Each structure stands twice: as structure tokens, then as C-alpha cells.
Structure 1
Amino acid sequence: MEKERCGWSHQNEAMTRYHDEVWGVPIREDQQLFAKLMLDINQAGLSWNTILQKWDNFDHAYDHFEIAKVAAYPPEKVASLLQDPGIIRNRRKVAAAVNNAQRVLEIQQEWGSFSDYLWSFVDGKPVINDWASLAEVPATSPLSDQIAKDLKKRGFSFVGSTTIYAFLQAVGIINDHLVTCFRHQELVEETMK
């Protein structure tokens, strides 16, 4: 019998695999968190499917999102990224990657890790929502408003509340799998271990 999934996951095989294996799984490793933040920033104004198709290209172009390496990109590297057809060649988004990597390094100095900083907003435990339909899932929340505001105050760019909400969903800080979706309960059980 076919498993019940969130409706957006049926677009293609890659989206289904992303939904089943990646989306909503709690991430607590800084480099992975930074990578997801950058991918969500690049998704602004585009479909997630577009970013998913370019994921490997992004990973290669941005040196596997090694935070210190991205933070130190010289102008020549930025120029080469703007010529790379395998990624989103938006000057402001490329600049945001370098800037935001520098800001993540500052947070690591202050908090010990980017993960500790982000998870502190929810006392280390995912927010578990109980949506019955995609129409109920919001684009922002008081939590995404709060984190976006704090990130902006710290000098991050391209971190509006909508982008941050999508990021929080993706990295499992918010569990927004529908209650009818098989992943909702699986992730609830995993977080209780």
C-alpha cells in the first residue's frame, strides 16, 4: 500500500525522496545548517524543485558549504560563482552566502555553535505542528519572525521571515509534516528517543 505523504512531495521522484529522507529531519551540525540556509535563500522567488535539481552543483560550487572557506571567498571566487550556470547566479544571493558565512563564524564564537544558537529558540526541542491540510500550513510564524529579526540584527542578509520559516521546516526545528503523512509520527517518535 502506498504511504500517505504531504501533497507537495508528489511532483517527481527527487521531491518524494527529499520529503521522505531529508525534509523535517532535525539537523544539529553547523555546516549542514549553513548549507540548508543558503539553499533556502537561493530558493527565494523560485520553486524548491529548481533548487533540488541544482543541489549537487551548489554543493560543489560552494566548497561543500565549508563555513570558514565561504566566509573568506575573494572577489575572484565570487566572480566565478556569478558565471556558474549550475547554480543561481544572483549577485545579491552570492554576496549573501559570503556575508552570512562570516556572520555564522561570529555566532560560533559567541554561542559555541550555530546549532546551539538556532536550537536555543525552541529549547532544543522541535516544534510539532498538527496540520491536517497544506492550506493550514503558514508561510511565517512568531518563531520565524523572532529568528529572522535576530539574524538581521546580527547582519545576516536575505533572511526574511518566510525564508526562515521554510528553513526551520527543512532542518526539523519545526515539524510541519501533515498529521496524515507517515513522516509526521516517525519524526515525533525519533525526537522522543
Structure 2
Amino acid sequence: MIENNDKLTRCAWVTKDPLYIKYHDEEWGKPEYDSLRLFEMICLEGQQAGLSWITILKKRQNYKKLFCNFDPYQIIKLTENDINNLLLTSEIIRHKGKINSILNNAKCYIKMEVDNEDFSEFIWSFVNNKPIVNSWIHINDIPTESIQSNALSKALKKRGFKFVGATTCYAFMQACGLINDHLLNCINRK
């Protein structure tokens, strides 16, 4: 656990960065059911692969601006020229595979809708529509993947999604409240 400037005990991964504190306190681990918000988060978690979350968090507004507020129907309108321009900007992570994954994932999201598969219902089905609440005492106790994140990863990959490995899916499930991994004495445990 870490105590920040305000003397409140938070999960040990939270730094003193105000952006990180706000994210932890107001968003991380709170159940998210909106399909578009879930789509945004699975895309952003994929951008994190190999990096720290704070790196992505600091660029989040840029991603939202450059990727049409994560509206899949607008994202699929991006041209090859648009993608090439994205590779030149320092506003986001300049990784061709990661940038292309957002476009690819938007197409997969739309395909699910066309097939009458609601993204939120699909995502929440991996936890039987109820958050998994863990009881970790130390940050080192928290796993990096689970049976559920492995199953979600396989199902997303089967639908064509990219940058959705089991570890990425576990981080996504934590962030969106499918799994509550706030440590036992964290202020946001409830």
C-alpha cells in the first residue's frame, strides 16, 4: 500500500501523480457496462503492452481525439494516410501494430454488433455478470492473468481482436471492475 499526500491509503501501484490518483480513485475497479467505454478500455490496454499504464493514461485524451472518441463507426473511416500520420505524432505511442489494432478492433466490434452480439454482455459473461472480488493483502499477491482473462483473450482473438493477450485482458478486467483487485486496506476497497 502507498500513502499519498492526502494520507489516504491506496493500492501500491498508485504513484503521487495527481492523474494516477484520480484514475485510481474515480475509475479503476468500478464496474463499467457501457459498450463503447469497454471498447475504449480494451483498446487502451492493448496500447499499454510492454509499457506502464501511466504512459497511456497521460496520452489518453490524445488517443480519444485522434481515434474519434473511440467510436468504432468513425474509426473505420480512418484512411491509410490517416494511419501514416498517426505514426508520425508523439501524441500517442508510435507503434504501427498497436495503432492498426485499434482500427482492426473497431471492425471486430462492428462485426459483433452486426451479428447481434452486444459487446458489454459479451465482456461481462466471462464473470457471470458479477464482479469477482478478490481479497489481496499485498500487491505481489495479485496475479497477472486468470482463468477468466485467458477465456476472454481467446474469445476476443477468435473474433479477430488484436493486442488482447491474457495479461492485457486481466488488466482490462481490473480497470473496468469485472475484477476488484483493490487491496484490502485501500480506500476504494468498497
- Counterpart Cα distance in 1 of 2:109 and 2:143: 27
Which amino acid counterpart does residue 179 of structure 1 have in structure 2?
Answer: L
State the match for 2:48 in structure 1. Answer: 43
* In 2: Cα distance, 1:176 partner to 1:107 partner: 29
The answer to whether 1:183 aligns with 2:172 is no
How much does 1:113 deviate? 1.9
Q: How does 1:130-169 map to 2 (within 5 A)?
A: 130-169=135-174
Alpha-carbon shift at residue 111 of structure 1 (Å): 4.2
1:69 maps to 2:78: no
Structure 1 alignment gaps of length 5 or more: 186-193
Q: TM-score, normalised by structure 2?
A: 0.93
How far apart are residue 71 of structure 1 and its match? 2.5
Pair 1:91-2:96 in alignment? yes
**Which runs of structure 1 show a deviation greater than 3 angstroms over 4 or more consecutive aligned residues?**
none
Task: State the number of aligned residues.
Answer: 185
Q: Deviations over 1:51-102 (max 9, x none)?
A: 1111111111111111111123221221121112100110000111011111
What is the aligned-residue RMSD (CA, Å)? Answer: 1.3
Q: 1:109: Cα distance to partner?
A: 2.7
2:38 is matched with: 33
Equivalent residue for 1:127, pick from 124, 128, 132: 132
Contact 1:71 1:100 in 2 (8 A): no
Query: What's the counterpart of residue 114 of structure 2?
Result: 109
TM-score scaled by length of structure 1: 0.91
Aligned to 1:191: none
Unmatched 5+ stretches in structure 2: 1-5
Q: CA deviation at 1:112?
A: 4.2
Percent sequence identity over aligned pairs? 38
